[in-house]
Amino acid sequence: MEVGLPPMNINAVQVLYLVGMQHFIMEEFRDMPASFGNDLPADGLRGFLVAGEPPDGCGPLPNPPTVDNFTGKWIVLLARYNCSFEVKVRNAQAAGYDCAIVHNVNSSDLETMSAKNPEGIEIPSVFVSDLAGLLLGDEYLYTSGFYIMVNGDLPFNINTHLLLPFAIVVVLCLLVILIFMIVKCIKDRRRARRHRLPSRSLKKIPTCKFSKGDPYDTCAICLDDYQEGERLRVLPCAH
């Protein structure tokens, strides 16, 4: 019987593609570490992925394959059910694997794997969803040239249920700002128009050319000096 504990820390299983000394994350899946076995290394556990045979890992598993020039870690992918998590991970450890990934079946729920007798289990193991298990087994086995990184980093995950309300709030804020700016612009134009002389009245004000010796040689409003020959408007106050 499999006993699930309440969810603990959610980590990530990453699919890496290596080019020279650089690696690129191709895919990332949420995982739940088991409550037994060793903890994952601080910098994660990277290795090649092998599909379990039998797929549920309830029987003895063959040893990891031999790959030329590869001396890294081996990870086995197993399906849930038919036996306890403890049996699956023990069989993976007995076969020489460094880590076990157990995927759910017909469910995306994650749970913490537990063992009635964890004594002697040393390899780490994690639990992933059915979709993650399907993609890992179909596209990212060692034969495809991808590495698998099991680590304690939180996966980048956007909650689509919150994305739409957030977008609506942002749009509403932008609309409020836009309306405020339009209203302010209209008020400023009206205020400027109230303090500005209409063009018809402006044309009625007499003009004259400034010549040296005129009574006033400086504007009484802006205090600028008049220039010879400059055309001036004569205000009702005679300035």
Same domain flag for 103 and 217:
no
Domain-ending residue, one of 151, 176, 194 = 151
Task: Examine residue 5 and state whether it is found in any structural domain, yes or no.
Answer: no
As a whole number of angstroms, the longest Cα–Cα distance in the chain is: 117
Residue at 192 is within a domain: no
For residues 143 and 44, state if they share a domain: yes
Same domain for 220 and 140, yes or no, is: no
Residue 165 is assigned to a structural domain of this protein:
no
At 4 the pLDDT is: 37
Q: What is the CATH number of the domain that holds 135?
A: 3.50.30.30
Last residue of a domain, one of 151, 177, 212: 151
Q: Provide the number of structural domains found in the chain.
A: 2
Whether residues 46 and 115 share a domain: the answer is yes
| Cα torsion 90, 92, 94, 99: sign | negative
Compute the distance between CA of residue 216 and CA of residue 189 in angstroms, rounded to an integer: 33
Residues 49 and 139 grouped into a single domain = yes
pLDDT number for residue 214: 66
Q: What CA dihedral angle connects 85, 91, 94 and 95, to 10 degrees?
A: -130
Task: Indicate if the pLDDT at residue 24 is higher than 70.
Answer: yes
Does residue 26 sit in the same domain as residue 139? yes
Range of the domain at 209: 204-239
Do 136 and 230 have their domain in common? no
In a domain, 107, yes or no: yes
Q: Please report whether residue 29 resides in a domain.
A: yes
Pairing of strands 231-233, 207-209: antiparallel
Whether residue 118 is predicted with pLDDT greater than 90 in this model: the reply is yes
Residues 142 and 233 grouped into a single domain: no
**Is residue 167 in some structural domain?**
no
Give domain status of residue 158, yes or no.
no
Distance from the Cα of residue 93 to its chain's centroid? 35
Average pLDDT, the chain: 83
CA dist list (Å): 183 to 172, 186, 210: 16, 5, 43
Candidate from 2-11, 61-70, 169-178, 223-232 with smallest mean pLDDT: 2-11
User: Which of 92 and 155 is assigned the larger pLDDT?
Assistant: 92
Question: Residue 187 is encoded by which pair of tokens?
Answer: 């008020």
Q: Is residue 221 part of a domain?
A: yes
Q: 177 in helix, strand or coil? A: helix
- Do residue 18 and residue 114 come from a single domain? yes
Spatial separation of the C-alpha atoms in residues 112 and 114, rounded to whole Å: 6
For residue 202, pLDDT beyond 90: no
